[in-house]
Each structure stands twice: as C-alpha cells, then as structure tokens.
C-alpha cells in the first residue's frame, strides 16, 4: 500500500513532468475505479487541459487542473501509478490512461480494484478527505499538538497511527516501523504510555518518515510503480533478525492486517486474542 513516503516521492517525480503539459487523451478502462464527480464526459474535462501542480494529502495524490477541478488518486491497497513511454497495450487492470502532448503517458493500475480515481470540482467532495488530520510530516504538528491529539484516542498505538483523522499518511507498514523505532509494542493502549514514551513516539514518527523519503528518493528512479520496502527494519521481515537486538521478528495477523515487531525491543501482551472483542 503506498503510504506517505511512497506518495511523496511519486509527487516529486511527477511534478516537473506533468505540470503544464496538455492532456491529449484520457481513456477510462475501469469505470468502477474512476469516479467522475463533475458529471458529463470525463475525457472532455481533461483533454486540452493541463495540471497546474502535483500535490499530496495523506495517502491521496492530487492533480489540480487549470480550470479549478482536481483529479485525485487514492491507491488504497494495491494501486500503482506508472509514468513514461506509452505501453504497447493496455493491461487488464489499467483503470485510466492519460496521454500528454509530449508523448508520455500516466496510468493508474489497480490489481484489486480497491483504490479510486476521482475527478472532483473541489476536494470536499472526495470521500474521507475532509476527515484527514494534519500530515504526519507537517512542520506545524508540534510535540505538544501531537500530545493533545493523542489524548482523544484511547485505543491501541498502531491503530491510532494508522487512523487518518489522527494524522494523515501512515499505513500498516510505516506504523510498524514507527512502533519499532520508538520501542513500543504496537498493541499497547495509548493511556499506558507515559510522557516520555509519547515524545519517543512522536520523534520516531518524524524520523522514520523522513528517512524513508530520503531512501526512496535515491532508489525509486523512473519505476514509480514499484513499491520498495526491502529497507524497512521490521515490516515484512517476519522471521528475520531484529536490526537492533537480533531477536527473531514476530508477526501477528488480525483483521487481515499483518503486524511485525520485535518481542525483545517492544515488550507487551495482547489484551485479547479475539479481534472482535478489542475496543477501538
Ligand atoms: Zn529487537
């Protein structure tokens, strides 16, 4: 799932390539994935127009058009954005293909059809966007502000970090990395954290995301449709050695979500083994 660092690097890559380039054709292949909230013909709203910027908000990529509307991509679990020379033929799960005046194309591909591409007059029309909290990397989100926001959330730390209305941009993978960096058991409940641990969590969030952006910036290159996760410390590393202490990395799967952590560095006990009885 593309998260804040992935999408930030995609945004940086696309901005100089897309801005100001007229769209010469827009083809929708999977109407289920592409939601035209403007009404009328989607191609008509895009063809002959250009994007004025490439922005990111949480796990959404935003492409504002010069006439004021936005194309918004929310890749969810499996969405991939590809940019470059035109492909010889369409792939089955290519949802939308934009061709630009310079001959390059942008494709949104979604193996699970779970993500969405919206064409909207304004961002408040895009489902869940209005509920987003501050960016996890927002310089304005101070430790004090983080503390205050955290008080409203009594649940488990990992669940809070991935709650987009708490802070925007963190998903399953980076939540595991942040908990590991902070040496906090992901299923600990927030009220059990002391002041120092909250500060540690905040600094871990900033550090993990900033470092991931740096790493991805140097490694992604033109292949923005390939997700790079091999550099992570614990997420996706079940059975490997913890980079800090060497203990074998544990895995817990609940509600189809896999959590990786180190039992040595992040001690804790799950309150309940049955996900249905856990309180949010
Ligand atoms: Zn460890």
Cα of 136 vs centre of ligand 1, distance in Å, is 25
Start and end residues for every CATH 3.20.190.10 domain found in the chain: 4-131
Q: Which tokens belong to 263?
A: 């039992």
Q: What is the pLDDT of residue 271?
A: 59
CA distances from 46 to 28, 49, 72, 268 (A): 12, 5, 13, 52
Cα of 247 vs centre of ligand 1, distance in Å, is 5
Q: Give the other-Cβ count within 10 Å of 158's Cβ.
A: 24
Q: What is the pLDDT of residue 31?
A: 92
CA–CA distance, 104 with 165 (Å, rounded to integer): 36
Start and end residues for every CATH 1.10.8.50 domain found in the chain: 143-277
Cα of 178 vs centre of ligand 1, distance in Å, is 13
Q: What is the pLDDT of residue 88?
A: 87
Residues lining ion ligand 1 (Cβ < 5 A) are 242, 244-245, 247, 262, 264-265
CA–CA distance, 133 with 149 (Å, rounded to integer): 9
**CATH 3.40.50.1110 for the 4-131 domain, yes or no:** no
Cα of 242 vs centre of ligand 1, distance in Å, is 5
DSSP 23: E
> What is the three-class DSSP state of 205?
helix
Domain 143-277, CATH class in plain words: mainly alpha
Q: What is the pLDDT of residue 176?
A: 98
Cα of 220 vs centre of ligand 1, distance in Å, is 28
CA–CA distance, 275 with 268 (Å, rounded to integer): 17
Q: 240 pairs with which residues across the strands?
A: none
| Contact partners, residue 69, CB within 8 Å, separation at least 6 | 38, 45, 119, 120, 121
CA–CA distance, 223 with 152 (Å, rounded to integer): 40
| Mean pLDDT per 10-residue section of the chain, whose length is 280 residues | 96 98 96 94 96 98 96 94 94 95 97 94 94 97 98 97 98 98 97 97 98 98 95 98 98 93 93 46
pTM exceeding the 0.85 threshold for the entire prediction: yes
Cα of 184 vs centre of ligand 1, distance in Å, is 11
Cα angle 190, 138, 114; round to 5:
75
Q: Give the other-Cβ count within 10 Å of 79's Cβ.
A: 26
Q: Catalytic residue numbers?
A: 2-3, 59, 257
Cα of 191 vs centre of ligand 1, distance in Å, is 24
Helix (H) or strand (E) holding 117: strand 116-120
Cα of 194 vs centre of ligand 1, distance in Å, is 21
């Amino acid at each position: 799932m593309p998260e804040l660092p992935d999408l930030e690097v995609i945004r940086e890559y696309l901005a100089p390539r897309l801005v100001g380039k007229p769209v010469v054709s827009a083809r929708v292949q999977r109407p289920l994935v592409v939601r035209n909230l403007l009404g009328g013909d989607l191609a008509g709203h895009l063809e002959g127009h250009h994007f004025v910027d490439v922005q990111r908000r949480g796990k959404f990529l935003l492409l504002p058009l010069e006439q004021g509307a936005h194309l918004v991509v929310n890749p969810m679990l499996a969405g991939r954005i590809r940019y470059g020379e035109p492909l010889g033929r369409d792939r089955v799960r290519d949802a939308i293909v934009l061709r630009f005046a310079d001959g390059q194309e942008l494709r949104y591909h979604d193996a699970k059809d779970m993500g969405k591409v919206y064409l909207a007059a304004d961002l408040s029309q895009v489902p869940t966007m209005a509920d987003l909290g501050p960016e996890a990397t927002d310089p304005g989100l101070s430790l004090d502000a983080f503390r205050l926001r955290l008080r409203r959330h009594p649940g488990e730390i990992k669940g809070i970090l991935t709650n987009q209305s708490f802070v925007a941009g963190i998903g399953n993978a980076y939540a595991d990395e942040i908990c590991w960096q902070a040496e906090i058991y992901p299923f600990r409940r927030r009220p059990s954290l002391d002041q120092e641990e909250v500060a540690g969590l905040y600094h871990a969030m900033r550090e993990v995301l900033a470092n991931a952006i740096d790493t991805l910036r140097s490694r992604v290159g033109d292949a923005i449709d390939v997700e790079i996760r091999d550099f992570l410390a614990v997420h996706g590393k079940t059975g490997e050695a913890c980079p800090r202490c060497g203990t074998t990395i544990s895995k817990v799967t609940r509600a189809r979500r896999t959590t990786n952590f180190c039992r040595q560095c992040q001690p804790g006990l799950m309150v309940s083994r049955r996900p249905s009885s856990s309180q949010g």
